[in-house]
Structure 1
């Protein structure tokens, strides 16, 4: 792999993909620093100064710092993820959407993508109006209003700006997936999280220098972070291998089949999708509540702080639900058993057909439970750090899962691309292996 990375410059196609990826991510990061018109950025910075360990801090991390600046990309990619959740849930209850997803191939997926875009715009308009109204009621600790000229002019401008910004992020993500390398949406979230790491590190050393955090605690947290990182990498690669045996078949004078292989089932089949979906669902009402001055919404916001027991219980419940839900969407035991039966493969000791499907489904349900427990433990970890050690940043949880998962996925695709190009060099255009 290291030798292949050195040869990236020799592959024009791969170099072009990497160029597009970094240029589009850089464009996204520039937009984070462009504020919405009509906002006093100095008063806004004072207001958010004490919000690092609240839901604002968690949402700001997902938006790459755009929320604390109320930039044109303040809502980040979360409305798109929320719309994706709604569409995925509707495919379970709507036969028409299920038919589009499974039976109509590429055209059906295009229509579902279009519905997701419409849903994203609608959610952004609702969230944008809530943020605009909330900003008008906000003042800095010194009493300076955050909005310079409140009114419907500011509200409409804010909604239009945030909707345009979120649509632009959605377009950037799609362009990265199409022209770049890796999943565009995941890379955008990855870039936002990584961009906040230098600030978190500086804040930690500032606390150590001021005596608010002991050096021993810093060493302990660093060792714990390394252990958690190693554990995540181990679990992301963990899989249950089901042995597969192929029966021998005679075609003419030749005997085919008879080889043994395995069916790999990942412990964390759903990847980082469950915590992202769970965070998105919890952030949507809580964000509106934080920007509103209605009494019962404020009470709801206080109960839904990331360090509260209620928040974490609901969070873990949603993670477990989406682990099973998303695994059921992307992995179909019925199709796997049918393909094995057609190709003459079988699991030793299990009859082909319905019994094979039941066995795969049973094994998948068991390992998905362990995967859900693993993700839940990692996601609750930063809340414990903040509550017990007053850590000034969100280490672990969804952020670390995304960083590790996206990095491994990106390097995997880079390696696959390099390997495929090497194999292309061994083949002639006719498909035959070149002679020495």
Structure 2
């Protein structure tokens, strides 16, 4: 971002704050909240750029955790470390009785080689798994978690400055491993089991995610009930009988069977699922077979993902995937072994909490608040918190002014480059949700 663009963005944010103030009279502390957010913004930008240049994989976020713990300690938070490995939890006690509100940010990066060309682009490298164990790839904050951590640190500074006007307590959860590790519990699930929502017990929890859809910078999007899909991973092993590729009738070709299964799975959503109830997705993402062109192999392995928003529909989708694979394989004289790895639950925004807090988001975003956003088929482990306490997640638009949505590089892209002008909106939104919940405004 050029200096001119940065100054213009700040002016735009300032004008937005003024416009929103005209829409709804601020509570007694909102003026201070907005001023504190503007004051901390330069540090938020610095934190974000530092974190972006030094991403870390799931459960390896040690440098990030050190930075977070150091800053929270300076702000006067009680800091707890070690939960779920690298998590950092900050607790701000006001000294007055009241509820406990929690705010969450995720810290992990992704094995993606960055192509943004930013002066603070990541140059980190990591050896990872995949088809070639030990393959070296780049490491990048390709999902915007650097933005999340920086904005929550900014909100932490704002809330600490306003401690005298609040009641109850603020709990900040800097969480590892939202992206997860295959076949292992993810960060949020581990934190819930470790008791992060207790001692003191959390009354409500809020979080945000940048991007997801190509919304203009500063847009806030959310909805009551299901905001993001539940996800399940499936693996199918098709067992045939190996033979010479020139004599396929002497064996059972699992490649052909696997191809039929891939096509058959597509009819589950298109022809067997009532999409008027909720959206659904069945996608095959990997397919591995054979070693040579003239050999019919013994087996084929494939894997994919299932996304759903309705619990009953989810169970039906799992049944249909298993039935489709097994019956198609049997019809060709092969077998299909189907297994499932349960993923994240549906990210559920508590309806009563969402309705109560929409005025807070409207004060921050004004006309840029979309309160009935379309559900997203992406998944988020913030969903685990919502299974235990009333929770609400919202999306923050980070598509720069004038950018073509069709050319937008989405989350997980090596060219994902969220607009830093959205940082102020995120800080104000997180701080406002916490302060308004604690004061009842």
TM-score computed with the length of structure 2 as normaliser: 0.29
Structure with higher strand content: 2
